Chains A and B, each alone.
Chain A
């Protein structure tokens, strides 16, 4: 595709349920990021994949959060047992090997009720 695609664009879930957010990066991009954007909180780094290297998971807020990247392309961010504080916009970005520009998707707005 021409850009980074995220799905769903909006997700409303009940507290305690699991959710999966999907990211399709730009074809050929080796780096993939997940960020969380909460009102007034800026962009919080969650996880970073680069090629075949072990992912940098240092930003994941708890063990309820996990992410995988299959075949070096599509990525899924999973949040287990969702809590109200997980409500935010989750952004995915991808970039080429040299990391000179990251391209962002439109985000998934997650609301936990």
Chain B
């Protein structure tokens, strides 16, 4: 069975500081990996995804994540965060033909 572990439930950080949200998964087969974001009082939306090819994927708002097969990780990073990045971030995994499974979420709180 596949599972997803987000190692930090809350990450407080000051504006313009770098941030890393950690995600590890377990699966015995190849998977697709995702980061979803949920802004306050809004629905879930896809931030970025890894399907195949380059292990480094980027979003349009400056986030990036790197697929590391040997460490079974897909950590999310941003070199300089903004107040508007305050949200809950969910890591998710799916194997071909399988179902989408989410981690517990990480609440990113950016302070001025």
Contacts and interface: CB of A to CB of B under 8 A. Distances in A.
A43 B95 CA distance: 18
Contact of B32 (A43, A100, A104): A100
Contacts, number: 49
Nearest to A101: B46
A104 B34 CA distance: 14
Interface in A1-51: 33, 35, 41-43, 45, 48, 50
A91 interface: yes
Chain A interface size range: 20 to 34
A104 B43 contact: yes
A42 B105 contact: yes
B49 A101 contact: yes
A21 B71 CA distance: 40
A84 interface: no
A88 interface: no
B94 A99 contact: yes
Contacts of B102: 35, 42-43, 45
Contacts of A100: 32, 49, 51
B109 interface: no
A100 B96 CA distance: 9
Interface in B79-111: 90, 94, 96-105
A7 B2 CA distance: 31
B30 interface: no
B44 interface: yes
A43 B36 CA distance: 11
Contacts of B34: 101-102
Interface of B: 32, 34, 36, 43-46, 49, 51, 90, 94, 96-105
